[in-house]
A and B are shown apart, each in its own frame.
Chain A
Amino acid sequence: MTLAVDVTGLNKSFGAHHVVQDLAIQIETGKITGFLGPNGSGKTTTLRMLCGLLTPDSGEGRVLGLDFRKDAEAVKRQTGYMTQRFSLYEDLSIAENLDFVARVHELDRRRERVRDSLDRLGLTARKTQLAGSLSGGWKQRLALAAAILHDPKLLLLDEPTAGVDPKARREFWDEIHGLSAGGMTVMVSTHYMDEAERCHDIAYIAYGKLIARGTAEAVIDQSGLVTFRAEGPGADRLARDLATKPGVVMAAPFGAALHVSGVDRAALDAAIAPYRRPPLVWTEVQPTLEDVFIRLMSGAEDTFQ
């Protein structure tokens, strides 16, 4: 097993705000790692430090086998970065944007690469259209095509599917898995749980610290969370009552049903005992990743506030 990313002691502050704190992260070559965490937890900052867009205050390690601080230029050349906001030129056409990226990376067989990329995107017929006139889903596909035009070994995606429809998201993830199968290492930050589950690995950070790491199953298991699901008329209305009971970490409606979770099984049982009566039907279920993350988020807040 080789590591595409292996950094430790990563720190970054903006003024008094310590955005990334002593972060250590290893990412296996060829894996897709989901980068999760609440807004402002330091995901974007970490990605930007890895691709040389921000200078870390401290930290060391290797990215693609290179010292990521000293050889930032060399790392840049082998890294693709797709920004959270669409950051290609809206007043250039699709083909002109790709052509610019190819030139700035000094790629050989430029015309061929751009042509192939357009073909893959299915945008050959619309290549003279301005990038700004594309819909959200197409912009995102174009941005991905631009980020991988130079065949990077490491691909960093910052919330790539925000505001994109489900079909386009599905296709996007198929593409990411295709790239990963071809040996590309991918780091993707996201807020979507279904996307997190599509990743080989998950890294959960909150308030600049790495809180959980591993496969989705492992993260769920490690959480020690016990979840009960109540179904029946009015089940979802009980959330507010149950949330305040001792032993209940959270109670959240899921459509007409209710998920109640806690870490202490006995206390949780005691808390829901008064509600164990018809017409409600209670079953113990596997906690979802979302349950775990909401738990992690509130846990992290407790620690850092």
Chain B
Amino acid sequence: MSRQPSERPSGGLSINRIVAVLIKEFIQLTRDRLTYAMILVMPIAQLMLFGYAINGDPRDLPTAVYVQDQGPMARSTLAALANSGYFRIVRQATSPAELDDAIARGQVQFALTIPADFSRRVVRGDGAQILVEADATDPAATGGAIAALANLPQVALTRDLVGAVARPAAPPFEVIVHRRYNPEAITAYNIVPGLLGVILSMTLVMMTALGVTREYERGTMESLLATPARPIEVMIGKLTPYVVVGLIQTVVILTLARALFAVPMAGGWLALSLGVTLFIIGSLSLGFLISTLARTQLQAMQMSFFYIMPSILLSGFMFPFRGMPAWAQAIGGVIPVTHFLRVVRGAMLKGLGLAEMWTSLSALGLFVVAITGLAMARYRTTLD
């Protein structure tokens, strides 16, 4: 019996019609090669990248020490510190000022001071102390290490203290911990300034990438290119409104950070302004560059995500930067958000200025120059 389409009941669900749509959808999916690639590359790349890179309990944190006591007990204490796995001694400071500078610039996560009378006081049982200062900007980065410090006095001197001085009841010395920059370990102090970088990237990169791609997709670029407008004129004209958008976002986020979360504003306004400006321009240029590579708004969206995901996960925004393995830190180092976060947190929480943060600021400058140059080279005045 032949079944004519008209014989079928029109009200019910038709498997054939569902299959028809299904097949069409699969074919279209394979037509867009970028989407096809994203379906496979995205999960694999991100799993490998973030699965291995992200570590909520960072170890081997760079530590500077200022040791005034040359005795064996100080050496044992340092050895025990290193053996805990959380501390890696990278610097022997010769003055308290040097120690202070290293932690302020973010070169080290911890600064340890062992006073001159340390051994003597331990032997006498006279309240021996060591001082550990932590850069607690990101409470998550220091949490594990600080917890490990509690155990240090019990284990550090077991071999040195024998006989009469071995008193297992009371610990031989005390570890004083100073959490600097964020003494109450308030996560919002670290996250809120970081959000500035993430929000600016998300809106600015995506808005520009979509804005320009839309002109190609809708065909309006054809008219625009037929006018005497030059590429640089189009670029400046298209990006300037978004600079304003970025500045408004910055003001809103900073105002709310202060009003709602009481995030400290320690100063460093000049460095912060310069960082924000460079970052906004760089993000817009990146969006423009993406638009010269993407053919559709969907592709532009996917490429933007490809940039934004590592910006969130590898920049030190969500997870401690020092918790990542060296290769992941290297990747994080080329992500502009990483440097922007350092500038924002440095300025807001530590009050650092241009001099202390020139490396991150020049990294942002390099980002702007490189991306703008690439975008200009890619942009065509013709439809070729």
**Other 15 A-B pairs with CB < 8 A, given A48-B383, A79-B226, A86-B219:** A52-B226, A52-B381, A52-B382, A53-B383, A77-B228, A83-B219, A83-B226, A87-B219, A87-B223, A88-B220, A88-B223, A89-B220, A101-B227, A104-B224, A105-B227
Question: Closest CB of chain B to A71's CB: distance in Å?
Answer: 12
- Mark out the residues of chain B between 212 and 248 whose CB falls within 8 Å of any chain A CB in the assembled complex: 218-229
- Option from A53, A87, A88, A105 in Cβ contact (under 8 Å) with B228: A105
Complex Cα–Cα for A93 and B216 (A): 20
Is A54 interfacial (CB 8 A cutoff)?
Answer: yes
Contacts of B225 in A (CB 8 A): 53
**How extensive is the interface on chain B, given as a class?**
10 to 19
Residues A55 and B382 in contact, CB atoms below 8 Å apart? yes
Residues B383 and A54 in contact, CB atoms below 8 Å apart? yes
Residues of B within 8 A of A (CB): 218-229, 381-384
- Mark out the residues of chain A between 92 and 146 whose CB falls within 8 Å of any chain B CB in the assembled complex: 101, 104-106, 146
Question: Closest CB of chain A to B234's CB: distance in Å?
Answer: 9
Can you give 20 A-B contacts (C-beta < 8 A)?
Answer: A52-B381, A53-B383, A54-B382, A54-B384, A73-B228, A76-B228, A81-B223, A83-B219, A83-B226, A85-B219, A87-B219, A87-B221, A87-B222, A87-B223, A88-B220, A88-B223, A104-B224, A105-B228, A106-B228, A146-B223
Complex Cα–Cα for A76 and B381 (A): 12
- Option from B218, B219, B226, B383 in Cβ contact (under 8 Å) with A76: B226
| Chain A contact residue count (CB 8 A cutoff) | 23
- Option from A81, A89, A104 in Cβ contact (under 8 Å) with B229: A104
Contacts of A54 in B (CB 8 A): 382-384
Is A90 interfacial (CB 8 A cutoff)?
Answer: yes
Residues A87 and B382 in contact, CB atoms below 8 Å apart? no
Question: Closest CB of chain A to B380's CB: distance in Å?
Answer: 9
Contacts of B383 in A (CB 8 A): 48, 53-54
Question: Closest CB of chain A to B235's CB: distance in Å?
Answer: 14
Taken residue by residue from 43 to 82, chain A's Cβ proximity to chain B (1 for < 8 Å, 0 otherwise) reads as 0000010011111000000000000000001001101010
A76-B227, A104-B228, A104-B229 in contact; A53/B220 too (CB < 8 A)?
no
Residues A83 and B384 in contact, CB atoms below 8 Å apart? no
Complex Cα–Cα for A226 and B289 (A): 59
Contacts of A86 in B (CB 8 A): 219
- Option from B218, B227, B384 in Cβ contact (under 8 Å) with A90: B218
Contacts of B223 in A (CB 8 A): 81, 83, 87-88, 146
- Option from A53, A85, A90, A106 in Cβ contact (under 8 Å) with B226: A53
Complex Cα–Cα for A55 and B227 (A): 15
Q: Which residue of B lies closest to A83 (CB)?
A: B222
Question: Closest CB of chain B to A242's CB: distance in Å?
Answer: 35
Residues B384 and A55 in contact, CB atoms below 8 Å apart? yes
Residues A81 and B226 in contact, CB atoms below 8 Å apart? yes
Question: Closest CB of chain A to B98's CB: distance in Å?
Answer: 59
Complex Cα–Cα for A106 and B384 (A): 26
Contacts of A89 in B (CB 8 A): 220
Complex Cα–Cα for A73 and B226 (A): 9
Question: Closest CB of chain B to A66's CB: distance in Å?
Answer: 13
Contacts of B381 in A (CB 8 A): 52
A48-B383, A53-B382, A54-B383 in contact; A87/B227 too (CB < 8 A)?
no
Taken residue by residue from 135 to 171, chain A's Cβ proximity to chain B (1 for < 8 Å, 0 otherwise) reads as 0000000000010000000000000000000000000
Question: Closest CB of chain A to B240's CB: distance in Å?
Answer: 15
Complex Cα–Cα for A55 and B381 (A): 10
Complex Cα–Cα for A85 and B229 (A): 20
Complex Cα–Cα for A76 and B226 (A): 6
Question: Closest CB of chain A to B233's CB: distance in Å?
Answer: 9
Q: Which residue of B lies closest to A101 (CB)?
A: B227
Complex Cα–Cα for A54 and B229 (A): 15
Question: Closest CB of chain A to B27's CB: distance in Å?
Answer: 23
The list of the 6 closest CB pairs from A to B, nearest first, reads: A87-B223, A81-B226, A87-B219, A85-B219, A104-B227, A83-B222
Complex Cα–Cα for A85 and B220 (A): 9
Complex Cα–Cα for A81 and B221 (A): 12
Question: Closest CB of chain B to A6's CB: distance in Å?
Answer: 21
Contacts of B226 in A (CB 8 A): 51-53, 76, 79, 81, 83
Contacts of B384 in A (CB 8 A): 54-55
Contacts of B228 in A (CB 8 A): 73, 76-77, 104-106
Question: Closest CB of chain B to A263's CB: distance in Å?
Answer: 40
Q: Which residue of A lies closest to B229 (CB)?
A: A104
Contacts of A90 in B (CB 8 A): 218
Question: Closest CB of chain A to B198's CB: distance in Å?
Answer: 28
- Mark out the residues of chain A between 1 and 60 whose CB falls within 8 Å of any chain B CB in the assembled complex: 48, 51-55
Question: Closest CB of chain B to A89's CB: distance in Å?
Answer: 6
Contacts of B222 in A (CB 8 A): 53, 83, 85, 87
Question: Closest CB of chain B to A91's CB: distance in Å?
Answer: 9
Contacts of A48 in B (CB 8 A): 383
Complex Cα–Cα for A87 and B383 (A): 14
Question: Closest CB of chain B to A70's CB: distance in Å?
Answer: 14
Complex Cα–Cα for A77 and B228 (A): 6
Most buried by A among B223, B226, B227: B223
Question: Closest CB of chain B to A16's CB: distance in Å?
Answer: 16
Contacts of A85 in B (CB 8 A): 219, 222
Question: Closest CB of chain B to A187's CB: distance in Å?
Answer: 14
Complex Cα–Cα for A85 and B216 (A): 12
Question: Closest CB of chain B to A62's CB: distance in Å?
Answer: 19
